[in-house]
Chain A
């Protein structure tokens, strides 16, 4: 018995706009690197922000001491 193919069966890859799982996977390493770049950008712009200093930067291994400002009790103004 000969099996005939009447027409080619096309199926659309599931996608969101131009993003599909396949090209997202191929972009993943690059996107992760961009994530790292973004994180260090945030770090630059929040390095003077006290709550970020207390939560992250004071705990850094080598540079952490830079953000710790010690004022002796007799030099405190208030």
Chain B
């Protein structure tokens, strides 16, 4: 019994000598433990700088965040960009017309995105006629000035607003366009005057640049 106690005391003194101040636990298990805690002293840096190592770790975390956010953005952008119109589509999106070749009082039909576009070089008399109409009496009230950029040139989509036939030029009761399908009459400004069509002929987006017309 005594021997045992002596032995225990010896062990305790032994372990506490080994562990030094690190031995904080006073439980029986830890007191009786024979585990020798290694001395890490030689591995610990002499000039430890907590701010340096901490900044290094945060810098690495931040760099990962930067690269992954930019990478995620680029990935998303690649997929979204793949949905945009390709060059061949964009090349078809516009059509150029040389207006110098169209004499006064003549119609020209060009194809733009699969649709006919009517271009009319109007005479001064026709411009006057288009402006003399009482706007309030129209089915789809629109002044001639709203429908043209240059009164000389009338550019509009050649699709009847009723059921999508192509109207015939220089005919009808109003000397404009006449749709043979159901008898809609359009005037010299492309406005619906008589028949089942509800709206005026549509005006596409176009630009006039001297003698050059760009539709689209």
**Do chains A and B make direct contact within the complex (CB under 8 angstroms)?**
yes
Chain B: how many interface residues by the 8 Å CB criterion? 11
Complex Cα spacing A78 to B85, Å? 13
> Taking the nearest CB of chain A, how far is it from the CB of B96, in angstroms?
10
Q: Does A63 contact B (CB under 8 A)?
A: no
Q: Does A20 contact B (CB under 8 A)?
A: no
Measured between beta carbons, the chain B residues less than 8 angstroms from A78 are: 87, 90-91, 93-94
| Segment of A8-16, A26-34, A41-49, A52-60 engaged in the interface with chain B | A41-49
How many residue pairs between the two chains, A and B, have CB atoms under 8 Å in the bound complex?
18
The proximity string for B residues 52-85 relative to A, scoring 1 for CB distances below 8 Å and 0 otherwise, is 0000000000000000011001001100010000
Measured between beta carbons, the chain A residues less than 8 angstroms from B81 are: 48
Nearest A residue to B73, CB-CB: A45
Given A77-B87, A78-B87, decide whether A44 and B73 contact each other with a Cβ distance below 8 A.
yes
Complex Cα spacing A77 to B87, Å? 8
Complex Cα spacing A9 to B77, Å? 60
Nearest A residue to B84, CB-CB: A50
Q: Are A44 and B87 in contact (CB under 8 A)?
A: no
> Taking the nearest CB of chain B, how far is it from the CB of A38, in angstroms?
13
Q: Which residues of A contact B (CB under 8 A)?
A: 41, 44-45, 47-48, 77-78
Q: A44-B69, A78-B94 are in contact. List 14 more A-B contacts (CB 8 A).
A: A41-B69, A44-B70, A44-B73, A45-B73, A45-B76, A47-B73, A48-B73, A48-B81, A77-B87, A77-B90, A78-B87, A78-B90, A78-B91, A78-B93
